[in-house]
Amino acid sequence: MEPTLHAGDALLVSYWRTPSPGSLVVARFPDGAVVVKRAVERRTTRTGGRGWWLLSDNPAAGVDSRHRGVIADADVRAVVLGRLWPHPASAGKTGRRPRRSWRRLLVSAMSRRRGL
């Protein structure tokens, strides 16, 4: 299966939405890595809390809940609303990337809000 996102894609995320099965989410793995994965189903963590089973769209390449286990609700930081760049309609076409300062500003503003 092909990955939905590629390195360098700019995403629009919501820190206030609740994930649902099938949504793409931004999560923090126990080792500290911040990743984008697909929330598949609700499960119980080892400590008895609620969490999400997260999988990669391309299981052959990537680390997900098969390797790290259930990710606690507190570690699921945001729900991906869409891809800003490249525009989904132009995927695979070459185009001018947004200015670095714009991307850096967007990511740093989003990161500060949730302490990523």
For 57-95, how does the pLDDT look when each residue is reduced to its tens digit (9 = 90+)? 888 888 999 999 999 999 999 999 988 877 666 655 555
What are the chain's domains?
A: 10-114 (2.10.109.10)
Structure tokens at 23: 């949504």
Average pLDDT, the chain: 81
0.85 exceeded by pTM: no
Q: Given this model, what pLDDT does residue 111 score?
A: 56
Q: Given this model, what pLDDT does residue 8 score?
A: 82
Beta strand residue intervals within 4-115, DSSP E: 10-14, 24-28, 34-44, 50-55, 71-72, 76-85
- In the predicted model, is pLDDT for residue 1 greater than 90? no
Q: Given this model, what pLDDT does residue 96 score?
A: 53
